[in-house]
């Protein structure tokens, strides 16, 4: 394997090990030593690419968010048009915000509340991801944001799935989530209709 490919593969292993540890052990339980052990990467190489724990955790959540964001966009693009499309869109969003990647992002988010350096590192990522999720949801719903109130209902949809994602972290909330999102999709269909 050429050196550039080896480096890329090593970085990917580090980032995936980091997300796994965030999901399994939380932010406090994720140490750089555990990450290098799990990724099978030397401490020296790890520190060369990610000098601090904050560098590592932010890059890891960014890496996974981008990969899953692309998967999400693809899933949404393949949904059928027509009567049940809105239900399918909000269900895909709800599942996405209840996935392990959400749990890893939540760990960072909550840790950043009381850690200024982490917050500074996380904020640009969070804003970019937020804009991207909004843009994608508008497109998926075919929402016309020039109409009053539409922008807020799209935002509400994303805040709702974030709240449902939080509920799902400590129990299996999928049946309740499905009922709620079905009802909300029907409301959206009425509100967003031209």
Could you list the residues that contact a copy of itself (CB under 8 A)?
24-29, 103, 106-107, 109-115, 119, 122-123, 126, 149, 152-153, 155-156, 158-167, 169-171, 176, 179-180, 182-184, 186-187, 191
Which stretch of DSSP H or E encloses residue 46? helix 43-49
Cβ 42 to a copy of itself shortest distance, Å: 27
Choose between 77 and 167: whose C-beta lies nearer to a copy of itself. 167
Alpha carbon of 93 to those of 43, 114, 164: distances in Å? Answer: 38, 28, 10
Cβ 167 to a copy of itself shortest distance, Å: 6
Choose between 26 and 69: whose C-beta lies nearer to a copy of itself. 26
Alpha carbon of 78 to those of 73, 90, 169: distances in Å? Answer: 9, 14, 28
- If you compute the radius of gyration of the chain from its CA atoms, what whole number of angstroms results? 19
Cβ 48 to a copy of itself shortest distance, Å: 28
| Nearest-5° Cα angle at 62, 127 to 58 | 90
Cβ 179 to a copy of itself shortest distance, Å: 5
Cβ 194 to a copy of itself shortest distance, Å: 17
Pair 164, 98: CB distance under 8 Å? yes
Choose between 25 and 43: whose C-beta lies nearer to a copy of itself. 25
Half-sphere exposure of 190 (CA within 13 A, CB side): 5
Choose between 41 and 86: whose C-beta lies nearer to a copy of itself. 86
Choose between 11 and 94: whose C-beta lies nearer to a copy of itself. 94
| Coil/strand/helix, residue 63 | helix
């Amino acid at each position: 394997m050429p050196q550039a490919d080896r480096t890329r593969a090593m970085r990917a292993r580090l980032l995936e090990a980091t997300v796994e540890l965030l999901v399994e052990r939380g932010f406090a339980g994720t140490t750089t030593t555990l990450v290098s052990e799990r990724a099978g990467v030397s401490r020296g190489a790890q520190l060369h690419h990610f000098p601090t724990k904050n560098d590592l955790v932010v890059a890891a959540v960014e890496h996974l968010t981008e990969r899953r964001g692309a998967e999400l966009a693809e899933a949404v693009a393949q949904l059928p048009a027509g009567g049940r499309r809105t239900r399918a869109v909000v269900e895909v969003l709800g599942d996405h915000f209840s996935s392990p990647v959400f749990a890893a992002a939540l760990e960072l988010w909550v840790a950043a509340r009381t850690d200024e350096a982490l917050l500074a590192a996380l904020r640009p990522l969070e804003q970019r991801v937020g804009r991207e999720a909004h843009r994608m949801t508008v497109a998926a719903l075919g929402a016309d944001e020039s109409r009053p109130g539409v922008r807020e209902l799209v935002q509400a949809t994303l805040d709702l799935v974030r709240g449902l994602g939080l509920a799902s972290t400590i129990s299996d909330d999928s049946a309740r989530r499905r009922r709620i999102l079905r009802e909300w999709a029907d409301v959206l269909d009425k509100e967003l209709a031209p």
